A and B are shown apart, each in its own frame.
Chain A
Amino acid sequence: MIDAVVIVLREVLEAMLVCCVLLASSYALGAKRTWLLPVTLAAVGGALLYATNLATLTALFDGRGQELTNVLLLVLTGASLLFYLLQLPAMLHNKRTLGKKEAPVTSTLYAVLIIASAAAMVRELAEIFIYVFSYGIASGQAVPVVSGAVIGAGVGVSLGIFIFFGLLWLGKRRCLQMSALLLGLISAGMLSQATRFLVQSGFLPGEHILWDSGWLISESSLPGELLHALLGYDATPGIEQLTVYVVSLAFAMLLLRKLMARQGTDGDALRQ
């Protein structure tokens, strides 16, 4: 049971982090909740598709299909998160010019929200499905695996709820800044993970492992899991991974600076 808790909690935490931060950020912008239903449908449908066809998928591209799919999903999430950050300053501008009553969120932004969170959830949900159905129930351990999964999912979703309300509690201005910072970190982590999958599938050489900080924070410990979900922490990163991480993080921080500058000029638009 404890393994089920750990596995499911880890996956749920990663998915919830992206979704809750995006949700809080979109709330601070004044977006409607209409995008939640398409996200849920797309994520569950995509995850089922992914999980049921994983064996076929793995065999594709000379046994590299699984990694390539993961890379696609991760890059899609990371890129749409960065695009979301890119859009934020314009949204604030709209908010000022359109007045407070109008929701400044365009359908472009809704599409980005849907793509980012659905792509982030598919992989994690699929792993949970595989664990619960292809492992737990198939090996006749339904009760411990399912109850462990319920506990893990419960704890993960609860933490997500607290992250969401915690961000909202900061007030709209700080909430936008904080969530933008978190989204930047998350997207850098996603892109670096995508790079790791490319190394794993032999597309990138992966010759230099830069350091091993596993003795300090093990990746399988709870702090390690949290840092992995939040910052894309990796105890033994390769040089390619680090490069991608640093570049995308720098890009995200640039966008964040732009956002803060915009908030400075459009300060009153969000002060209330």
Chain B
Amino acid sequence: MTSFTTKSVQHAVRRIWVLALGYCLSVILVVAANQSSAADDPPTITLRIKDHLFVPAELTVPANTRFRLLIINEDNTAEEFESAALNREKVIMGNSEGVIFLGPLSPGEYSFFGEFNPRTAQGRLIVNGPQS
């Protein structure tokens, strides 16, 4: 039996924290570097979940713009917003809301769906090109 001496556990935890902190530090550096551009608050677009459906099922946003997607779940049940094309996933509990940062996106169509109701809860994000 190896005994779990507090010293060695502390040691392990410290080393893990060092690695984790290294990661976090580099992230903070990048964040700080981008702070100037991200300073202005991006516009918010709202998407509702009602009866396991997305309302509206189609969202339209301009291209090359950064924005916040506010997802409001009006059902009593939880839902997970997921999109492979947008590379996002987030669980929204029943009767609550969540925020996702998106963009800047190039023009095109990006589909998203509710992972818990993949057949009915489907929607599309249409990104209009710069000409329109």
Contact = CB atoms under 8 A, between A and B. Distances in A.
Interface of A: 3, 7, 32, 34, 54-55, 58-59, 62-64, 66-67, 75-76, 78-80, 82-83, 86, 103, 105-112, 115, 127, 130-131, 134-135, 138-139, 191, 194-196, 198-207, 209, 212, 214, 218-220, 234-238, 240, 244
B47 interface: no
A3 B117 CA distance: 8
B1 A130 contact: no
B93 interface: yes
Contact of B12 (A111, A131, A204, A214): A111
A111 B9 CA distance: 6
SS class, residues of chain B in contact with chain A: mixed
A112 B15 CA distance: 10
Contacts of B13: 111, 115
Contacts of B91: 54, 58, 66, 127, 130
Given A106-B8, A219-B84, A199 B101 contact: yes
22 contacts: A66-B91, A76-B16, A80-B19, A107-B3, A107-B5, A109-B12, A110-B2, A112-B16, A115-B16, A127-B91, A131-B116, A134-B94, A138-B78, A191-B23, A198-B27, A202-B101, A204-B34, A205-B66, A218-B84, A236-B86, A240-B30, A244-B23
Interface in B59-89: 66, 68, 76-80, 84-88
Contacts of B5: 107
Given A58-B93, A79-B16, 17 more contacts: A7-B116, A32-B2, A34-B2, A63-B98, A66-B91, A76-B20, A83-B16, A108-B9, A115-B16, A127-B80, A130-B78, A134-B93, A201-B101, A202-B68, A207-B104, A235-B85, A244-B23
Contacts, number: 150
B19 A236 contact: no
Chain A at the B interface: SS class: helix
A106 B12 CA distance: 10
B19 A112 contact: no
A58 B78 contact: no
B78 A135 contact: yes
Contacts of B76: 138-139
Interface of B: 1-5, 8-9, 11-13, 15-17, 19-20, 23-24, 27, 30-31, 34, 37-38, 42, 52, 66, 68, 76-80, 84-88, 90-94, 96-101, 104, 115-119
A201 B52 CA distance: 24
Contacts of A209: 87
B44 to A, nearest CB: 10
Contacts of A195: 27
Nearest to A3: B118
B8 A108 contact: yes
B85 A135 contact: no
Contact of B77 (A105, A139, A194, A201): A139
A62 B99 contact: yes
A204 B31 contact: yes
Contacts of B90: 66-67, 200
A76 B17 CA distance: 8
